[in-house]
Structure 1
Amino acid sequence: MSGPQPPLNLASRQPELITLAAGSKLYRFYTAAFEPVYFDRSNMGRLNAPDASYGVLYTAAATEGAFAETFLREPGRSLIDLGLLHKKAHVVLENTAPLKLAKLAGRGLAILGATAEVLHSGLPYDASQNWSKALHNHPEKIDGIAYYARHDDEQLCYALFDHCAELITIQTRQEDLDKDWFWQIANHYNLGIAPY
């Protein structure tokens, strides 16, 4: 397991909280063949429930964070395959009521007894999923977890729990990513187009 496990007294610890005001924008790249609002119940995601007891929607505070979580998963990658690009789409979401998130980053780590290793380690995701479950069940009744992207640790991301599903609405979606704004972000990360 990567990183410390949630302490036995976690329920008595007060997480550092981030509140997303109603109307906040949430950014996400997703597989275009599926719906953009997807609360994942598999055991594949870093902050998914270890027992599939709830779903998790992964979003970011900025498009760059969503880009990092989607297109920078292979360390050292310098080219984006057009096949992958054509399978992906982008959505801007909005929450219709405030969302309260536990910050699993910065001083929020020490307060809870975690380390950055919990969020930034590779497979297996046992530790990070156990933290997700412990925070999901915390008496503070949080709506998700705020953390920094593994592949760009300046980008704030959000893992939202499915009990807030009815509070998430779709504002805009774009299925054709071969646009200037997308390549400007790719250029920011020194990524080009893979040759055919």
Structure 2
Amino acid sequence: MATIATGKVLHRVHGATVAARWYGRKDATWRWDDPEGKFGVLYLGKTLVGPFAETLLRTPGDRDVLWDQVARRRAANFTIMRPIRLAKVHGPGLGWFKTTAAGVSADFDPVDNPGAYVVPQQISAEIYKSTSLDGIQYRSRFDSDELCIALFDRADAAISLGAEGVPIGKDWTQKLLADRGYTLIEL
């Protein structure tokens, strides 16, 4: 189990035209979503790098990132109002769920790999159903140094929105991309 203390700040990347606080539950699109749609999940990171990588670096074979894609996104942050308790689904925590890093990190592709999220979604549903934990802590697939959080909707009162709709800086983006071998392209 991992705990994040009161007062810590978590980060999110969201679309420029939508609110940062969104617990998707309509179609189990993302990795830790409930396959039955009974609960929602808000995806966050301990730093802005994790959500940025999860949102904008999803095709590692393509080393170019269009500025237009970044400009359509915004940054948000949330302050933890009470300690949140999370299932660690990385490192030694993988053994508790009888899986591997590969088992919870497979690339989803509706054509070539449509079942890639079956394992993490089943783990998420089991944690939600059988514990009182607030969510899941996991490693970003696109920057494994980054810890991310899948926060269950039942823990919504544990976070307070600090800022949303903040443009992501071009200089910050260029540095982050350059450190990873990507190029920012402006058309």
RMSD across aligned C-alpha pairs, in angstroms? 1.5
Contact 1:119–1:150 under 8 Å retained in 2: no
The structure-2 alpha-carbon separation of the partners of 1:101 and 1:92, relative to structure 1 and needing over 3 Å to count, comes to: same
Amino acid at match of 1:50: P
Q: Encode CA deviations 1:111-150: one digit per residue, 9 max, x unaligned.
A: 33222122211232112111110011123x1000011011
Q: Which residue number corresponds to residue 153 of structure 1?
A: 144
2:88 pairs with 1:88 = no
Amino acid at match of 2:135: G
Distance 2:176 2:53 in 1: 10
Amino acid at match of 2:173: F
Amino acid at match of 1:145: I
Q: Encode CA deviations 1:131-175: one digit per residue, 9 max, x unaligned.
A: 110011123x10000110111111111000000112221223353
Partner-residue secondary structure (3-state), 1:85: helix
Partner-residue secondary structure (3-state), 2:156: helix
Would you say how many aligned residue pairs link Structure 1 and Structure 2? 179
Distance 1:174 1:183 in 2: 20
Q: Among 31, 37, 41, which residue is 1:46 paired with?
A: 31
When the two structures are superposed, what TM-score results if normalisation uses the length of structure 1? 0.85
Give runs of aligned pairs for residues 1-196 of structure 1, distance below 5 A: 17-42=1-26, 43-123=28-108, 124=115, 125-139=117-131, 141-196=132-187
Distance 2:164 2:179 in 1: 22
Contact 2:32–2:121 under 8 Å retained in 1: yes
Q: CA deviation at 1:177?
A: 2.1
Distance 1:65 1:178 in 2: 16
Distance 1:184 1:173 in 2: 22
Contact 2:24–2:41 under 8 Å retained in 1: yes
Partner-residue secondary structure (3-state), 2:144: strand
Contact 2:19–2:164 under 8 Å retained in 1: no
Q: CA deviation at 1:195?
A: 4.1
Partner-residue secondary structure (3-state), 1:30: strand
Contact 2:177–2:184 under 8 Å retained in 1: no
Amino acid at match of 2:156: A
Distance 1:193 1:180 in 2: 10
Tell me which stretches of 4 or more aligned residues in structure 1 moved more than 3 Å.
none
Amino acid at match of 1:106: G
- Structure 1, unaligned runs of 5 or more: 1-16
Partner-residue secondary structure (3-state), 1:154: coil
Distance 2:71 2:35 in 1: 31
